[in-house]
């Protein structure tokens, strides 16, 4: 979303929603989606953290996922 391209944004949103149907709730895909739709530098950082957290969860790295969750919450609180 960095380029503010609405068409790409809509496509991305639909793809994320589709994929979210196959993932457990604790992946917090709505949070990822909200971050992806935010074109600010903070949104980019949050989206990357959420995505990295999803990868940690898929690799059963709960400690790594928790560390990223703390970074996400810290970044969200700082705004």
Q: Is residue 46 part of a domain?
A: yes
- Is the CA virtual torsion 30, 12, 58, 72 positive or negative? negative
Q: Is residue 12 part of a domain?
A: yes
- What is the number of structural domains in the chain? 1
Give residue-wise pLDDT tens across range 10-68. Answer: 887 888 889 889 999 999 999 999 998 888 999 999 999 999 999 999 999 999 999 99
Looking at residue 74, its pLDDT comes to 96
pTM (2 d.p.): 0.83
Looking at residue 11, its pLDDT comes to 84
Q: Is residue 58 part of a domain?
A: yes
Q: Is residue 1 part of a domain?
A: no
Measure CA of the first residue to CA of the last residue in the chain; give whole Å. Answer: 19
Q: Which domain holds residue 50?
A: 6-77
Cα(40)–Cα(18) distance, integer angstroms: 24
pLDDT exceeds 90 at position 76: yes
């Amino acid at each position: 979303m960095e380029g503010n391209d609405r068409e790409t944004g809509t496509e991305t949103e639909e793809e994320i929603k589709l994929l979210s149907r196959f993932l457990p709730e604790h992946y917090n895909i709505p949070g990822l989606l909200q971050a992806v739709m935010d074109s600010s530098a903070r949104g980019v950082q949050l989206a990357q953290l959420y995505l990295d957290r999803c990868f940690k969860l898929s690799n059963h790295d709960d400690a790594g996922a928790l560390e990223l969750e703390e970074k996400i919450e810290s970044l969200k609180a700082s705004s």
